[in-house]
A = this chain, B = another copy of it.
Amino acid sequence: MSDVRQVPLATPTDGGTWRSPADRPLRLDSGAVLAPLEMAYRTYGTLNADKSNAVLICHALTGDQYVASTHPVTGKPGWWTTVVGAGLPLDPERYFIICPNVIGGCMGSTGPASPDPTTGKPYGLAFPMITIADMVRAQAMLVASFGIETLFSVVGTSMGGMQVLQWAADYPERLFSAIVVAAAARHSAQNIAFHEVGRQAIMADPDWRGGAYELEGVRPEKGLAVARMAAHITYLSETALQRKFGRELQRDGLSWGFDADFQVESYLRHQGASFVDRFDANSYLYITRALDYFDLAASHGGVLANAFLRARNVRFCVLSFSSDWLYATAESRDIVRALNAAGCRASFAEITTDKGHDAIFLEEPNLDSALRGFLASAAEKRGLA
């Protein structure tokens, strides 16, 4: 809570970049110190007088602060315009919504492409390794900069959901409620395996240059595209891929060559090619590593419930998608079991959909109603109704 009084207050605008004071660096789990620290963020809505209506949204691996704003690079709508907006579960008319870019990211928060103060050049691999807890520690500083003592809610999807769990473990007194969508309390062997494939694809690209590509005016675009393609398979269910593409061809007949014959090939190639326009390869390495290192039980004596012992006053909502095989429902059930064991209030729903992990971003009426129901009840308890 002390942060609230020690950091300079930001002006709630619709976004910007917050800089930590020189005497308030970010101490990382690795032992390293990150200074200066910059946090790029967007806000939506207005903070009410008693600062009780603030919602923090935590983004996924390749997400960013543009949760409900046009993306400045792609020109596409924000990544969660199905949930954040007028008349939607997270309505800026009602809530003051903050969405920061994670540290290690590439959309304005301090990351491997930021200048290393010791050299003035991009960090590259000199950037310190970061963890989910480090991301959350930086977010806590940003939230404090608004003078907000308690968030009405912290909401996260996928990696963002892991940040929510970390918030509950590290700053439970600053949370009124917490919403975890399609996440897990630790990265599984298969999760790590897919990330390792992606990292090896990036590091195998000679244009990666040992991470120093920015200095040399090149980018490991091919490697990053392959990494994205591999990851993208895990975001869709087998059923969704089959329904969406099946064995449909790009044109009449086979090419009898290595062009994209099948629509699913063309789709994946497009996913890879468009990703490199908006994402930084080193950020991909650092953030996937942070995910792989995530194991909330391990940092609490091997017992996940221990992470939540101080969070008994927090209202939790845990949601999973039935066809998500990246962070399957079983992972969410483990979280709920631990919350219950710790004596926390937790509501849980498995949303039936065949769209896989990507259901996060799609029109899912049951996701909408689950979020509305939980938020309405919490808002009433918080006196926001």
Contact = CB atoms under 8 A, between A and B. Distances in A.
A268 interface: yes
Contacts of A376: none
Contact of A190 (B242, B258, B265): B242
B258 A197 contact: no
Given A190-B238, A192-B247, A246-B189, A269 B204 contact: no
Contacts of A190: 233, 238, 241-242
Interface string A126-152: 001100000000000000000000000
A91 interface: no
Interface stretch (A81-89, A175-183, A292-300, A367-375): A292-300
A136 to B, nearest CB: 18
Identical chains bound together, number: 2
B262 A192 contact: yes
A77 interface: no
Contacts of A257: 129
Contact of A204 (B128, B203, B223): B223
A226 B245 contact: no
A232 to B, nearest CB: 8
Contact of A201 (B187, B188, B226, B292): B226
A203 B285 CA distance: 22
Given A190-B238, A241-B189, A295 B247 contact: yes
Contacts of A192: 247, 262, 264-265
Interface string A242-284: 1011110000001011101110110011001000000000000
Interface in A191-233: 192-194, 196-197, 199-201, 203-206, 222-223, 225-226, 229-230, 233
Contacts of A196: 229, 260, 262, 264-265, 268-269
Contacts of A129: 256-257
Interface residues of A, number: 54
A131 B272 CA distance: 27
A237 B189 CA distance: 11
A189 B230 contact: no
A260 to B, nearest CB: 8
Contacts of A2: none
Contacts of A246: 188-189
A247 B200 contact: no
Contact of A245 (B189, B241, B258): B189
A289 interface: yes
A222 B197 CA distance: 11
Given A196-B268, A268-B196, A204 B189 contact: no
Contacts of A238: 188-190, 325
Interface of A: 30, 125, 128-129, 186-190, 192-194, 196-197, 199-201, 203-206, 222-223, 225-226, 229-230, 233, 238, 241-242, 244-247, 254, 256-258, 260-262, 264-265, 268-269, 272, 285, 289, 292-293, 295, 298, 325
26 contacts: A30-B256, A129-B256, A129-B257, A187-B247, A188-B242, A188-B246, A189-B238, A189-B246, A189-B247, A190-B233, A190-B238, A193-B229, A196-B260, A196-B268, A197-B226, A197-B268, A200-B222, A200-B225, A201-B204, A206-B206, A226-B226, A254-B293, A258-B285, A258-B289, A261-B292, A262-B292
Given A196-B260, A203-B258, 6 more contacts: A30-B256, A190-B238, A190-B241, A197-B229, A199-B258, A200-B272
